[in-house]
Amino acid sequence: MTLKPVDRRSVLQMLAAAGSAPFVLKSTVAHAETPLTVGVLYSGSKQDYGFNQSHAQAAAALKKLPGIKVIEEERVPETIAAQRSMEGMIRQDGAQLILATSFGYFKPHVLEMAAKYPDVTFAHTGGVWTAGMPENIGTFYAYIFEAQYTSGIIAGHMTKSKKLGLVAAKPTPNLLRSINAFAIGARSVDPAIQVQVIFTGDWVLPVREAEATNTLVDQGADVIAAQVDSPKVVVETAEKRGVMSCGYHSSQAEVAPNGYLTGAEWNWITPYLVYAGSVRGGKKPEHYLRAGLGDHFVKNSPFGKLVTPEARAAAETARADLMGGTRVIYSGPLKDNKGNVVIPAGVMQSSNDRALDGINYLVEGIIGQV
């Protein structure tokens, strides 16, 4: 972290507040005469009810701000084509800020373009900036697992069978962190709750996701959570089977008006505004930007109609605790589902603890294997 935490936090909070009050923003990012052109690249469709849509929603919010022009390109493959898109945005549209929203854009595409265009700021989702990389690169990500934790609390309150189902893509560290947080949240309500995970093996496999959902419902799970790229199919299938569901990335409430409880959503507008602010201010971008619920980098979907007042209250308390820093999700003693102690008693791994980056276990109470 290059900036002092206090410094960064205050900046972020100010900008997050500005998100809901555009007139404040006018003085911070949108003061200049010439519009700021922002180029956004997506690896898939903007309407995927998933990760890309969460970015597209932030881009749409950015577009509404005065003095900002947004150009977008969808389905840009993570190949040399990404460089061509970025170059086109810079040279033809005069983009001063490039938001590269897919993991594979970073190496080597963003690195090469940033070296070639030192006056343009590049912000990349998920990459990790290290010393020696071009100074005009910022990398940002969000602690989505904090929102998964609150989703878990809701699911834990709502389940009657004490069995939750989870359809996940691949056991990557980021997903494992979220899966564990969901289970820890649910089991904080009732330690008897079990979470059954099915890994489909890839990011987008609609038919297998539907099969996995059906299997979990057959096994008695009455809340199904999705951690795949486009959770629409999982949420929809759960709705068809008459069980409750929790979403991911963006809100899937529309496809499951009855059973959708809540979901863990990205709130990318916050980091977008941070980088727009640094371009406006003529400053270097923040190289490693990570934050969670407290800094409005993530949020939960509005609670569904089934969610009881107690569940709401518990989730709100948890959210307030997480935002205030009085609650740490990964705190010992914590066992994995093979019985090994992974975090000893007295140890707390807060959200920005880099020890969580390489997480490779599933916690106690999860039926599944990495």
In whole angstroms, the minimum distance from the beta carbon of 25 to another protein comes to 29
Question: Binding another protein by CB under 8 A: which of 151, 200, 252, 300?
Answer: 200
39 near 95, Cβ under 8 Å?
Answer: yes
Binding of residue 152 to another protein (CB under 8 A): no
Cβ closer to another protein: 229 or 295? 229
Long-range residue pairs from 172-177, CB within 8 A, at least 24 positions apart, any chain: 173/356, 173/357, 173/358, 173/359, 173/360, 174/144, 175/227, 176/359, 176/360, 176/361, 176/362, 176/370, 177/145, 177/356, 177/359
Residue number with CB closer to another protein (12 or 197): 197
Please, which of residues 44-73 interact with another protein by CB under 8 A?
44-45, 47-49
Q: Is 250 in the site for another protein (CB under 8 A)?
A: no
> Cβ 332 to another protein, closest distance in Å?
25
Place of tokens 């009881």: 308
Alpha-carbon Rg for the chain in angstroms: 20
Dist. CA 244–CA 209, nearest whole Å: 16
Please identify, using beta-carbon distances, which residue of 85 and 196 lies nearer to another protein: 196
User: What is d(CA 170, CA 14) in angstroms, rounded to the nearest whole number?
Assistant: 36
Q: How far apart are the first and last CA of the chain?
A: 31
Q: How far apart are CA 348 and CA 332, in angstroms?
A: 6
190 lies in the site for another protein, by CB under 8 A: no
In the region spanning residues 20 to 49, those forming contacts with another protein, defined by CB under 8 A, are 44-45, 47-49
Query: Any alpha helices (H) in 232-280, and if so which ranges?
Result: 232-240, 269-280
Instruction: Using the minimum distance from each CB to another protein, give the nearer residue, 57 or 150.
Output: 57
What residues between 295 and 324 interact with another protein by CB under 8 A? none
Residues 304, 310, 311: CA angle, nearest 5 degrees: 45
CB of 210 to another protein, least distance (A): 4
> If binding means CB under 8 A, how many residues of this protein chain bind another protein?
44
Q: C-alpha 186: how far from its chain's center?
A: 19
Q: Which is nearer to another protein, 218 or 321 (CB)?
A: 218
218 CB contacts (<8 Å, ≥6 apart)?
none
Q: Are 2 and 59 in contact (CB under 8 A)?
A: no
* Residue closer to another protein (CB basis): 37 or 200: 200
User: Distance between CA atoms of 110 and 93, rounded to whole angstroms?
Assistant: 18
- Contact pattern from residue 92 through residue 131 relative to another protein, giving x for each residue in contact according to CB under 8 A and a dash for the rest: ----------------------------------------
By CB under 8 A, name the one of 54, 159, 196, 250 that touches another protein: 196
205-244: contacts with another protein (CB under 8 A):
205-212, 214-220, 222, 229-230, 232-233, 236-237, 240-241
CB 188 to another protein: min, Å: 22
Q: Where are the beta strands (DSSP E) in 108-157?
A: 121-125, 137-142
- The residue from 76, 147, 186, 198 that contacts another protein (CB under 8 A) is 198
Collapsing DSSP states into helix, strand and coil, what is residue 129?
coil
Q: Which residues bind another protein (CB under 8 A)?
A: 44-45, 47-49, 75, 161, 163, 196-201, 204-212, 214-220, 222, 229-230, 232-233, 236-237, 240-241, 254-255, 367-369
